[in-house]
Amino acid sequence: MTTGLEHSAFLKAARGEAAPHTPVWFMRQAGRSLPEYLKVREGIGMLESCMNAELITEITLQPVRRYGVDAAIFFSDIVLPLKAVGVDLDIVPGVGPVVANPVRTLEDVAAIPDLTPEQIPFITQAVQALVGELGSINGGTPLIGFAGAPFTVASYLVEGGPSKEHAKTKALMFGAPDVWDALMRKIADVASVFLETQVAAGASAVQLFDSWAGALTPGDYVRHVQPHSARVLARVGELGVPRIHFGVGTSNLLDLMGEAGADVVGVDWRTPLERAIPLVGDRGVQGNLDPTLVFAPTEVMTARAAEVIEAGRAARGHIFNLGHGVIPSTDPDQLARLTDFVHGYGV
């Protein structure tokens, strides 16, 4: 464990050890809900921000300073590693990632270069700077490394942009399994290097984020997706850091996502923790307050948060979080109240 983080409630819970309090952090805590974020990002594109070590550092630190959460999440984007290797893509405001030349053939897959740590020096620089800064905040705050899971990244590459149906993605998966397998192996390698680089620079845990895995049946997940996510998680697991695996709408996949190699399974707000915990086995859980509850009266929000905390006690370890990312219009003061409530609950 990184020096100075021996008493981290987040790392203790992630490892299934007794924690002094329920740890809390929020997915997308560094982002559009914070006025300080909007100020530093003014006039700067998303991917440009994600390739600037000073901006990455500042944005990652902002919610830790403001809320006193138990972990920082590395500020990046799912498609950033692809941009780093030269894939022609951009993040279009109001749309999302848009890929100029979608993947259709083995030749298209072969044209995607492998990622090396030398291509992402800004990642190493930012992580090292963050670890230095975070070491003096709240007695030491761990940094969570971040990457998109192979299926979700593949979906952007095949669809050419965001999709609700993932029809082209599934058509390739079912109709050209050789191309699909090659693409997933390529992305798994890229994601592994991206996470390994963050851990080598000092990240204390990682989260593999599979936004669109909920579009799959369990059988298709096992055949076409799980082996590739497992490769990423296995490689990072060799580095000895806790691994969180999260997907949206994945109530039918929670057991399989855990079996892919997670130490902690993220649960979205649709599945109560009392249902999720028996499915994930001897693993921790993360979640899972409905992100819209921050718009409710404070007493309603905290009452529901208490239910989540109580349900989480049945798990090997519980990390409190929202059941998905912070909504951009969220009042930061309400998240501060929620953080304080979780920290003080039952202590």
User: CA dihedral in degrees (80, 253, 207, 66; nearest 10)?
Assistant: 100
Per the structure, the complete domain to which residue 114 belongs is given by: 9-344
Which 3 state secondary structure label does DSSP give 95?
A: coil
The catalytic residue among 32, 66, 270, 337 is: 32
Give yes or no for residue 177 having a pLDDT over 80: yes
Per-chain mean pLDDT for the chain: 96
Whole-number Cα distances in Å, 315 to 66, 243, 244, 310: 29, 16, 14, 10
Place of tokens 């028996």: 278
Q: Specify if 3 maps to a domain.
A: no
Q: 77, 210, 268, 290: which is the annotated catalytic residue?
A: 77
Above 60 in pLDDT, residue 106? yes
Q: Is 304 annotated in the active site?
A: no
Q: Is-catalytic flag, 66?
A: no
Q: Length of the chain, please?
A: 347
- DSSP letters spanning 4-28: T-TT-HHHHHHTT---SS--B--TT
Contact 271, 251 (CB under 8 A): yes
110 within a domain of the structure (yes/no): yes
- Measured in whole angstroms, the distance separating CA 267 from the mean position of its chain's CA atoms is 12
For the stretch 287-321, pLDDT in tens is 999 999 999 999 999 999 999 999 999 999 999 99
215 within some domain = yes
Q: What are the tokens at 87?
A: 């894939």
- 2, pLDDT greater than 60: no
Pairing assessment for the beta strands 318-322 and 264-266 based on DSSP bridges? unpaired
Yes or no: say if 202 and 241 are a contact pair by the CB < 8 Å rule: no
Query: How many domains is the chain partitioned into structurally?
Result: 1
Radius of gyration of the chain (CA): 19
Exactly one of 15, 28, 231, 316 is catalytic; which is it? 28
Could you please report the per-residue DSSP string of 189-244? HHHHHHHHHHHHHT--EEEEEETTGGGS-HHHHHHHTHHHHHHHHHHHHTTT--EE
Which among 15, 41, 231, 316 is annotated as catalytic?
41
Residue 177 within any structural domain of the chain: yes
pLDDT category of residue 347 using cuts at 50, 70 and 90:
low
Closest CA to 96 of 10, 7, 35, 164: 164
**Choosing from 156, 189, 283, 290, which is the catalytic residue?**
156
CB-CB contact of 173 with 180 (8 Å)? yes
Confidence of residue 94 (pLDDT cuts 50, 70, 90): confident
User: Quick one: tokens of 74?
Assistant: 């590395």
Largest CA distance in the chain: 58
Percent of the chain surpassing pLDDT 90? 95
Q: What distances in angstroms separate CA 156 from CA 15, 233, 327, one per listed residue?
A: 32, 21, 22
Q: Is 155 within the bounds of a domain?
A: yes
Give whole-number Cα distances, 31 to 60, 207, 237, 241, 293, in Å.
Answer: 9, 17, 28, 25, 18
Find tokens 């992305």 and name the residue.
187
Asked whether the CA dihedral 162, 206, 114, 126 is positive or negative, the reply is positive
Residue 180 lies in a domain: yes
Q: How far apart are CA 246 and CA 257, in angstroms?
A: 8
73 pairs with which residues across the strands? 144
pLDDT band at 346 (very low <50, low <70, confident <90, very high): confident
The answer to whether 275 is a known catalytic residue is no
Q: What is the mean pLDDT of residues 278-283?
A: 96
Q: Is 32 a catalytic residue?
A: yes
Q: Answer yes or no: is pLDDT of 26 > 60.
A: yes
Residue 82 has pLDDT above 60, yes or no: yes
Average pLDDT over residues 42-49: 95
CATH code, domain with 323? 3.20.20.210
User: Is a pLDDT exceeding 50 seen at residue 1?
Assistant: no
Residue 3 has a pLDDT of: 59
Is 249 within the bounds of a domain? yes
Q: Is residue 4 part of a domain?
A: no
What is the rounded distance in angstroms from the CA atom of residue 50 to the CA atom of residue 64?
18
Mark whether 316 is an active-site residue.
no
Listed residue (93, 101, 87) closest to 38, CA to CA: 93
